[in-house]
Structure 1
Amino acid sequence: MLNTKDSNSEKIGFLHWFSSTLGQILISLFVPAITFYVLWQGYIFLSKAQASQIVLVTVAIIWGVGGVALLYVVANWLVLKLPKPWSKRLQPFVFVGPAVVIMGWFLAIPVVRSLIASFHNNLGTQWVGLKNYVFAFTDPRMLETFKNNLLWLVFGTGFSVGIGLLVAVLADRSRFEVLYKSIIFTPMAISFVGAGVIWKFVYSYKGTGAGIQEIGLLNAIVIALGGTPHPWLTMAPWNNFFLIVIMVWLQTGYTMVILSSAIKGVPAELLEAARIDGANEIKAFFNITVPYIKGTLITVITTVVIFSLKLFDVVRVMTGGNNGTNVIANEFYLQMFTYNHAGRASAIAIVLLLLVTPVIINNLREFNKERKGF
């Protein structure tokens, strides 16, 4: 009898523990879901509300920031109420989960939708198979965009990283390091559209007829030196290189700062030992410094490569893609919003994603290698 009573007590205890744990787990899942639903309904209400922009923006900021904070607090509190094994398993997802949901909603789902749209016609009403991809790889205008993006990739990345590395090395040995780096880094504070407007004035060409004045800085310098002004932005294919100068101007500060930090991490003992062995500064740089900062150098290069592949702002502001300066991202914009061909635009977007993906994968591999090294 005692054994039967003990057995029944154990079963009752187990059922009580299981129901309690199951209830806590369900609460941990449903309460954050309900909180998220309330936040979403608040967003829909704000989007339809008729009020001044200032009031809507203020309420949206308070609602968004406060709501997200509330979501984290509620979810974390509920997870901590669970048994320790479950709490340890679920707590990381409290912080990672919302980010994964947001990434899936704003990145993964649009990619899938674009992939599906790329196999349809301009209105998305008829299946056309690979027709849009055939256009992407055979149309003369598209082939021009690939050629131009290759120029941006090779020369833009090469000069941005090369000049940034050179400045990082030279400035590191100067007592005016902060001043030099501040001047070179300043363009990073300017938006790409703003940079395009600035350099459009630099390259501006208004002709030399009666009553017409030259306002472009570059042409003004050419005239001052006794030369003839030129329409720099219409001189294909050189106009692509004039645009690439803007990218170099913008990105050199970024590459300089990252590489300078890496160079400062090179042990002075290694460089001193190389000098004692008879290596000059150039040999010490290529045999000691460059191998030591290889991981950072690859990361910087891949970052600039990705930027050069998806570049849009500068070309759109400066030339609109005319005169042989079109790039992939600008052609996507034209197909989508000028020619209203969603199928071709989606195919171009997928092609651009495929071009960028290997670079991203390589970047992640290098990151994992560095992390394992630590």
Structure 2
Amino acid sequence: MQQLLFAVFTMIGGVLACVLYFFGTNWLLDRLFPSKGRMGAEASRNLRITNAIRPWLFMAPALLALGIYLVYPVFESFRLSFHDRTGRTFVGLSNYAWMLRDGEFRQSIFNNFLWLLVVPALSTFFGLVIAALTDRIWWGNIAKTLIFMPMAISFVGAAVIWKFVYDYRAAGNEQIGLLNALVVWLGGTPEAWMTIPFWNNFFLMVILIWIQTGFAMVILSAALRGIPEETIEAAVIDGANGFQIFFKIMVPQIWGTIAVVWTTITILVLKVFDIVLAMTNGQWQTQVLANLMFDWMFRGGGDFGRGATIAVVIMVLVIPIMIWNIRNATKEMEGR
């Protein structure tokens, strides 16, 4: 109850602070550069000044937050990557040399590569197929709501749910894990799925696919509805079947949206952390870059230099994809 009350008061306080800020800053701006009651050139000048400043008043809190929590950490991480574990002694490229030789880092890169191959592709594919199918049935909106619901769950919450799916009990005991219960019912032997090297990565990927399919479905469903009916009718008249219409008529027209969805999920995959931490904590060869960074930065006494080095690698991998994604999204909005 205490935590609930604290959360409620925090939200109320945050909203009131925002209201006071915006009303207060606008009131102060109007007092410093009044246009009402002024005549001629002075009123026009003050109006131009207030119109130029007012948008920055609205953007100032966001810009301040971005500066403190995004821009500053980027430069600080880059600086720390050239220092020792304390962040005080300059060590040059030693952390980068260590990183290239470290077996756990190479394992993390390999695992992230697997995630990049599987998760964006399957999430986008399932989202596209579901979007196309649900637009054709009367209860499609209900189905979309159910599929989109995992998006409302935090990654940690989703991991807890899937812990019960993958839960393991020794043979002869009652299985509370859904997957092992099904295996036993079919006459098989229960398995500790999370401890099976290599394949356990795919079991973890299923969780993120389950979450992100809803996101892909919503975006692609909107894109499919934007396809002109005339092109589909023309294809039907020409004798095209359902598969030909879908793959040769519909998909090419929304290819830009598919690419944006794909790259958005790709960026998320490069930063995946919560699911691995909650499910395996990087054990049994499931380590990924973000979890490895967390381990070096905050565990075992902390090594700011090596943790920051891994953070820089993640940033370098994300930036090109993010730039490409923004450019494609801009082209989509411009209708090109």
TM over 0.5: yes
Amino acid at match of 1:88: N
Q: How many residues align?
A: 321
Q: Show CA shifts across 1:196-243 (max 9, x none).
A: 12212221222226xx44332212211111112222111111111111
Q: Deviations over 1:289-344 (max 9, x none)?
A: 22322232122111111111111111111111011101111101111222311111
Name the structure 2 match of 1:208. 171
- 1:275 aligned onto 2:236: yes
- 1:106 pairs with 50, 66, 69, which one? 69
Counterpart selection for 1:132 from 81, 95, 101: 95
1:1-374 aligned within 5 A:
61-80=11-30, 81=33, 83-208=46-171, 212-339=173-300, 340-373=302-335
Aligned to 1:40: none
SS at match of 2:269: helix
> What fraction of aligned residue pairs are identical, expressed as a percent?
45
Instruction: Please report how far the alpha carbon of residue 129 of structure 1 lies from its aligned counterpart in structure 2 after TM superposition.
Output: 1.0
Which amino acid is the alignment partner of residue 147 of structure 1? F
Q: Which amino acid aligns with 2:20?
A: L
Superposed CA deviations along residues 234-267 of structure 1, whole A, max 9, x for unmatched, are 1111111111111111111111111111111111
Residue 280 (structure 1) shift: 2.3
Matched letter for residue 229 of structure 1: P
Aligned Cα root-mean-square deviation (Å): 2.1
CA distance in structure 2 between the aligned counterparts of 1:161 and 1:230, rounded to whole angstroms:
30
Shift of residue 63, structure 1, vs aligned partner: 4.7
The whole-number CA distance in structure 2 between the counterparts of 1:225 and 1:97 is 60
Q: Given that residues 171 and 189 in structure 2 are in contact (C-alpha distance below 8 angstroms), is that contact kept between their aligned partners in structure 1?
A: no
Contact 2:257 2:332 in 1 (8 A): no
Distance 1:372 1:341, change over 3 A: same
* TM, length-normalised to structure 2: 0.88
Shift of 1:155: 0.5
Query: Unaligned stretches of 5+ in structure 2?
Result: 35-45
- The alpha carbon displacement at 1:270 in A equals 1.5
Q: Mind listing any 5+ residue stretches in structure 1 that lack a counterpart?
A: 1-51
Whole-angstrom CA distance in 1 between matches of 2:12 and 2:140: 42
Change in CA separation of 1:137 and 1:257 when aligned onto 2, cut-off 3 Å: same
Partner of residue 43, structure 1: none
**Letter of the structure 2 residue corresponding to residue 361 of structure 1:** I
Distance in 2 separating the partners of 1:333 and 1:238: 23
Q: Could you report, residue by residue, the CA deviation over 1:164-208 in whole angstroms, capped at 9, with x for unpaired residues?
A: 111111111111212222222222232211221221222122222
Mapped partners of 2:150, 2:311: distance in 1: 29
Change (3 A) 1:99 1:263: same
Paired AA for residue 76 in structure 1: N
Contact 2:169 2:190 in 1 (8 A): no
**TM superposition shift of 1:70:** 2.5
**1:360 Cα offset (Å):** 0.9
SS of equivalent to 1:331: helix
Name which of structure 1's ranges 56-65 and 327-336 shifts more when overlaid on structure 2.
Answer: 56-65
Q: Which residue of 2 is the match for residue 47 of structure 1?
A: none
Q: How far did residue 105 of structure 1 move?
A: 1.5
Measured in 2, the distance between the counterparts of 1:53 and 1:252 equals: 32
Cα distance in 1 for partners of 2:5, 2:140 equals 46
Query: Quick one: structure 1 residues 345 and 75, their matched pair in 2 at CA, closer, same or farther if it must change by over 3 Å?
Result: same
Q: More deviation in 70-79 or 199-208?
A: 70-79
Could you tell me how far 1:112 is from its partner in structure 2? 1.2
Distance in 2, matches of 1:350 and 1:144, equals 17
How far off is 1:277 after superposition? 2.5
- C-alpha distance in 2 between matches for 1:119 and 1:303: 30
The one-letter code of the counterpart of 1:68 is C
Rate the CA distance shift 1:75–1:137 in 2: closer, same or farther, 3 A: same
In the alignment, residue 133 of structure 1 is paired with which amino acid?
Y
